[in-house]
Amino acid sequence: KDRLQSIALERVSFAYTPGEPVLREVSFTAQQGQTVALVGPTGAGKTSVLNLLQRFYDPDSGRIRINGVDLRHWDIRRLRGMTALVTQEPVLFSATLRENIFARPDQADEATVTRILQAAHCEALVQRLPLGLDTHLEKGGASLSSGERQLITIARALARDAQLILLDEATSYIDSQTEAVIHKALHNLIAGRTCVLVAHRLSTARSADRILVLHQGRVAEAGDHRQLMERRGLYWRLHRQ
C-alpha cells in the first residue's frame, strides 16, 4: 500500500480562463499526519487548490509534489486510491447505506463496521433508518439531510483508510447540534492522517498545524492559530466579523 509522506505546492499559479489567475504563487507543505487549513473569503481560490491536488487541472506554473514526485508523474489511480474527498455536496449512490460506506461490504467484519460507524457518528442515523445499514438510499440519499450525507462520506473515508484527506467544509446551513457532531467526526477522520481542508467555520481551522489565509488567489498570511491571532492581520479580522 502506498504511504503518503509529504505534499508540497511550490509557487503554484493557475487560471481556469487564460489571463484570469485564481491562484498566484501559492506554496505550502504538509508532512505525513499534518493538517493544512485554507481559509479566506469566497472566491479566494480555496476549492481550486483541492481541484489541483486531485489533478482535475494542472498548474500553469509551479509544481505540486507528493512524496517529492511531481503530481503529473503520478499514476492517477494510485493517487485516487490514496485520497478521500469530503465535499460540500456529497454524492451518494442509490444503494444501501452499507454499500455507500464500504466498497466491499462482505469484507468488513462486524467490529470494523461498529468502529467506523462510531468514529463517524453515524449510529443515530443507522438507528433512525427502517432497515439500518441495509436501508436502500433512494436518489442518492435525497431523504437525508446534508449533515447526514456528510457523516456518511466521513464514514466512507474512514472505511477506505485513505492517506490523504481533502475536505471542503459545507457552507450550507446546518444547526449547531449537527455541526458539533460533524466536527467530532471530522476530528476522528483527520487524526493521524494528512489533510488539506477548506474551512468555512474558523473553529475547524483552529487546531490545524498550518493555516493559510488566501486572498484573491494569494497566500496573504500563514501560520498556526496562535501566530495568526498575534499578528492581528486578516485572520484576526475574520474572527471579529
Q: Which residues bind ligand DGT (CB under 6 A)?
A: 16-17, 22, 42-48
Q: How far is the CB of 170 from ligand DGT (least distance, A)?
A: 10
End-to-end CA distance of the chain: 45
Determine which residue in the list 13, 32, 47, 54 makes contact with Mg ion, applying CB under 5 A.
Answer: 47
Could you give the CA distance from residue 120 to residue 189 in angstroms, rounded to a whole number?
Answer: 8
What's 72's DSSP letter?
A: G
As measured in angstroms, the least distance from the Cβ of 53 to ligand DGT is 12
- Minimum Å distance from CB 125 to ligand DGT? 26
Which phi and psi angles does 107 have, rounded to 5°? -95, -5
Least distance from ligand DGT to the Cβ atom of residue 96, Å: 31
Name the nearest CA neighbour of 218 among 41, 7, 29, 54: 41
Name which of 83 and 96 has its Cβ closer to ligand DGT. Answer: 83
The window from 44-52, 146-154, 156-164, 232-240 that contacts Mg ion (CB under 5 A) reads 44-52
SS3 helix, strand, coil % of the chain, rounded to 5?
Answer: 40, 25, 35
Residues found near Mg ion in the complex (CB under 5 A): 47
